[in-house]
């Protein structure tokens, strides 16, 4: 249910493929994602996407009840993505919610199809967000807007997310192809040069 395609030019495309369950993640799927992100030190680009109309609804309901909602795997995944020198892109094929927000926020770039929504219902569900998520969210949209999502529980449309800076571009067409187009300059540069620029940005 997690597929990783590696191209000759260094693009790793990771796809969540459980559309019948809104791409919700089990512990095994989340572990696979962690292992891929940790192994991606050799990648030039890492793209995350999904199959169907939802990028990911976060934890699988049964797995969440069994403890996955508070698992350290979520933080392990977002941390592994954030530490990569590769250009990381989240190509939303649809709505992102709950724990899946962590990998979305950890990416360098976030692009989306029209009509998607972004929400993180931790207040309503009685969970704390993963430790790094609130700071990453606030760095992108500011503290008040972060509270709109985390405390007021608002579902943010992708158009609103675009004006907030939470999404970089809304794509009418193939979101994965657009993600690959955004990699051209990075792939055309020397690896050390691309790494140096990313580290200067922080």
pLDDT of residue 202: 86
pLDDT of residue 101: 98
pLDDT of residue 153: 97
Which residues are 48's β-sheet partners?
A: 14, 90
pLDDT of residue 64: 81
Q: Running along the chain, 202 residues long, what does each successive block of 10 average in pLDDT? A: 97 98 97 98 97 96 86 97 98 97 98 98 92 98 98 97 98 96 97 96 91
pLDDT of residue 143: 98
Q: CA nearest 47: which of 96, 134, 126, 107?
A: 107
Kindly give the interhelix angle for 73-83 and 133-141, rounded to the nearest 10 degrees: 50
Backbone angles phi, psi at 14, to 5 degrees: -105, 125
pLDDT of residue 1: 96
pLDDT of residue 61: 83
Which residues are 91's β-sheet partners?
A: 111
Answer whether 61's CB lies under 8 Å from 30's CB. Answer: no
pLDDT of residue 34: 98
């Amino acid at each position: 249910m997690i597929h990783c395609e590696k191209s000759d030019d260094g693009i790793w495309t990771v796809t969540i493929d459980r559309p019948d369950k809104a791409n919700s993640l089990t512990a095994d799927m989340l572990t696979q994602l962690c292992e891929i992100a940790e192994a991606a030190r050799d990648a030039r680009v890492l793209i995350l996407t999904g199959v169907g109309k939802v990028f990911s609804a976060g934890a699988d309901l049964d797995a969440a009840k069994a403890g996955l909602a508070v698992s350290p795997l979520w933080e392990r995944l977002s941390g592994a993505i954030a530490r990569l020198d590769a250009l990381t892109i989240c190509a939303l094929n649809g709505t992102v919610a709950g724990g899946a927000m962590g990998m979305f926020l950890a990416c360098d770039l976030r692009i989306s199809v029209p009509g998607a929504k972004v929400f993180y219902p931790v207040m309503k569900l009685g969970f704390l967000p993963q430790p790094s998520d609130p700071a990453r969210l606030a760095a992108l949209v500011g503290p008040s807007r972060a509270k709109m999502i985390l405390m007021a529980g608002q579902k943010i449309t992708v158009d609103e997310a675009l004006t907030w800076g939470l999404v970089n571009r809304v794509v009418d067409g193939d979101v994965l192809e657009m993600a690959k187009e955004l990699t051209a300059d990075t792939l055309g540069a020397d690896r050390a040069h691309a790494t140096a620029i990313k580290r200067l940005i922080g």
